[in-house]
Structure 1
């Protein structure tokens, strides 16, 4: 099934955010809102949002946060509270502008942490359900090691690959993520205090071979979330499950949404 799409820019408090929308195949369903990783943007999702939209009948919104893709550049250094700012400030205003009152959040990495925060903050009444791929709720030693390793390869080919996604935003996107996570202040970053306020059902997906996190992340979410949590832990899978095991992850998301969000089979 090929669904109609449209794209452009949204103005949020003077910041232009690149977006793409997939029209719903059926009325009355929640909109899937895709929240990208720390080095992501609209384009990094490729056709995965379209596939999930087609499989569920839902519409989809995919957007690039400030400093990513073709959105407005970010002012560095980033605040160590930038994930909270996105979840509690930018995302609710974006949903307001588009008139979206019933959504399913689909977040990856940084975007998954934003989804957890959003489901426990001002946007929570709109969140029917959420999916978190490779989320972080605190910083681990393996997280720091993975981010330090990324620095080493940035100038050795990674920058050119990322430039195809981010254009002139490439350095701001990389260093805004990398430098922030490696500060001493960010080492204390922790959002476990927000988990009990979550009421929406969550599907948490993580690869056994995730180079940025361990099982401690999803164990904390499952133990502390105020809403029901389903877990999918995948062997032979790294930090990006929807890329490493796309078909398995897609089906798991569809099954979860049929179960908890009232979607027809």
Structure 2
């Protein structure tokens, strides 16, 4: 059940699996440790997007951790990557992001014997999960950076997800995603069906995130095809200590489109110096 401690060397990367109990069964979670400059370095936990996984992050987590001298933990949520796929009859409900934030993430921390306050780095759905976790468990979060998070459902989001559904059914998108997921149908349909379900249109978390007290960085591209700047501006209205970063020439994945700007902003948030 328990993972070995994070490696101390800044270039060390260690992959593995750990089991948690969730939804009345044992679920295997894929993870990757990225070593910091020292064992006492802050721990940055990466939460992936709606179709993401450990491998979908590519080299960015290691790039960020090495640039600012922190440790990193990357993992694939249940249903994604090499983690346990959804059961055949398992359909996600409107509370699926809450359950990841309130149930899966604490169980993962317990299984890996992580009992220190962590920093969270969440992208898209992962950003929403990071916000929900920080609001529910303030003592366990030192701070968080969220990229293109969702705090409510917008028309542009639904239109983008509908287009992704068409692409999945008519292009080579399933083959491309299969490079990153053992069960590509589990990953895609679990995410796509709930986001497009009529009951999900009323999903919103502005009131809940007002409980966040830690430092918070909210980043969004001005050309984001899945959401407007209202997503991060809405966070700032509810969480006064929020730092906003609105990036030109940037779509839904700021860490891919503008990695240098994201690294610099996270370094400032964590009071680190890139390149040290």
Shorter chain as normaliser: what TM range?
over 0.9
Contact 2:10–2:34 (8 Å) recurs in 1: no
Q: Which residue of 2 aligns with 1:149?
A: 163
Contact 2:18–2:112 (8 Å) recurs in 1: no
Contact 2:19–2:28 (8 Å) recurs in 1: yes
Cα distance in 1 for partners of 2:274, 2:35 equals: 16
- Is 2:37 the counterpart of 1:18? no
> 1:60-110 deviations in whole A, cap 9, x for unaligned?
100000010000011331122110001011101111222221210000000
Deviation of 1:254 (Å): 1.5
Q: Which residue of 1 aligns with 2:119?
A: 104
> What TM-score does the superposition give when structure 2 sets the normalisation length?
0.90
Contact 2:10–2:37 (8 Å) recurs in 1: no
Gap runs ≥5 in structure 2: 1-8
Number of equivalent positions: 260
Q: Among 230, 234, 244, which residue is 2:257 paired with? A: 244
Q: Among 177, 180, 205, which residue is 1:162 paired with? A: 177
Contact 1:29–1:263 (8 Å) recurs in 2: no
RMSD: 1.8
Q: Which residue of 1 aligns with 2:14?
A: 6
Aligned residue for 1:119, secondary structure, equals helix
Contact 1:113–1:136 (8 Å) recurs in 2: yes
Cα distance in 2 for partners of 1:216, 1:201 equals: 20
Cα distance in 2 for partners of 1:49, 1:33 equals: 9
Q: Among 102, 109, 114, which residue is 1:95 paired with? A: 109
Cα distance in 2 for partners of 1:149, 1:136 equals: 18
- Is 2:60 the counterpart of 1:38? no
Aligned residue for 2:82, secondary structure, equals coil
Deviation of 1:52 (Å): 1.3
Contact 1:206–1:239 (8 Å) recurs in 2: yes
- Is 2:68 the counterpart of 1:56? yes
Aligned residue for 1:152, secondary structure, equals helix
- Is 2:193 the counterpart of 1:179? yes
More helix by percentage: 1
Structure 1 runs of 4+ aligned residues shifted over 3 Å read 262-265
Q: Which residue of 2 aligns with 1:192?
A: 206
- Is 2:226 the counterpart of 1:218? no
Cα distance in 2 for partners of 1:240, 1:183 equals: 24
Cα distance in 2 for partners of 1:111, 1:158 equals: 21
Q: Which residue of 1 aligns with 2:5?
A: none
Cα distance in 2 for partners of 1:24, 1:236 equals: 31
